[in-house]
Amino acid sequence: MSLLRSLLFSTPLIVICTIVMGTLSLIDSFFDRTGNSQHQLARAWARMLLAVSFIRVRVTGLEKIDPRGAYVFVANHGSFMDIPALLASLPRQFRFFAKQGLFRIPFLGTHLQRAGHIPVDRSSPRASLKSMMEAARIISERGVSVLNFPEGGRSAVGLREFKEGPAYIAIKAGVPVVPVAIVGMRELLPMGAIHLRSGNVVLRVGDPISTNGLKASDRMELTERLYREVSQLLAEGSRPFNAETQRR
């Protein structure tokens, strides 16, 4: 029944929502070059996708986030549906990193560029450093947050070693870094799967970690701490989704 519902209902609606909202976002980008209104449209799109997929995201820890603050959000990454879950749940304007190749795709690339998202060029350390500096500049000058998946891509199982980029960006921008754990989404849409299952997901927001007084040379220690924090959040959120979780 779940597979039939996905094929006949969820998947076509996901495609329709993406086309419609993507078109609206592209049109809006000609009037708002800051990317702020595009982010609001992206949030609406994300909530639509979760709704038509019958995925319920329960969020804990949002009270730790200052709605007026800027952050570097760091999350685990196991599914294509992670970004919709984060867009729908986090109460801050944020931009995220995307592979440079995505910016070359017609329509999608135009949207990513106009919305202010950041291309990642992994061809050389110099190019990667340029992307990180651009992210720090966006945070400092525009007061928006940045989302990064420090595993460097989706992981099929467990939690892969974190890269130092998010820690470097947070230190350079002088903003806190926030560990976030997405629990249960990988089981609904694993890597390589085309069937999106319905179900419950828990998104756990950890305590913001201050970067005051830290230098670029401290990024490795901060990265190790972030890995521990996300690991702990994943472990704490892996218990069954129940009434106790809903009350938090």
The count of structural domains within the chain is 1
**To the nearest 5 percent, what fractions of the chain are helix, strand and coil?**
50, 15, 35
Task: Tell me the pLDDT tens digit for each residue of 186-243.
Answer: 999 888 777 788 999 999 999 999 999 999 999 999 999 999 999 999 998 765 544 4
Task: State yes or no: pLDDT of 124 exceeds 50.
Answer: yes
135 SS3 class: helix
Q: Is residue 87 domain-resident?
A: yes
126 vs 240, higher pLDDT: 126
Q: pLDDT for 172-198, tens place per residue?
A: 999 999 999 999 999 998 887 777 889
- 129 in any annotated domain: yes
Range of the domain at 101: 55-247
Confirm whether 70 is domain-assigned: yes
Arithmetic mean of pLDDT over the chain: 85
Considering the domain boundaries, does residue 177 fall inside one? yes
The pLDDT of residue 242: 47
Report yes or no on 175 lying in a domain: yes
d(CA 172, CA 168): 6
Give the confidence band of 9 by pLDDT, cuts at 50, 70, 90. low
pLDDT tens, 38-85? Answer: 899 999 999 999 999 999 999 999 999 998 899 999 999 999 899 999
For residue 220, tell me if it sits in a domain.
yes
Asked whether residue 129 carries a pLDDT value surpassing 50, the answer given is yes
- Please indicate, yes or no, if residue 133 is contained in any of the structural domains: yes
83, 98 contact by CB (below 8 A) = no
CATH number at residue 160: 3.40.1130.10
Cα–Cα nearest to 115, from 95, 97, 141, 93 = 95
pLDDT digits (tens, 9 = 90+) for 89-114: 998 889 988 777 777 877 677 777 77
Domain-embedded: residue 18: no
> What are residue 135's phi and psi, to 5 degrees?
-65, -45
The percentage of the chain sitting over the pLDDT mark of 70, rounded to a whole number, equals 91
pTM, two decimals, is 0.87
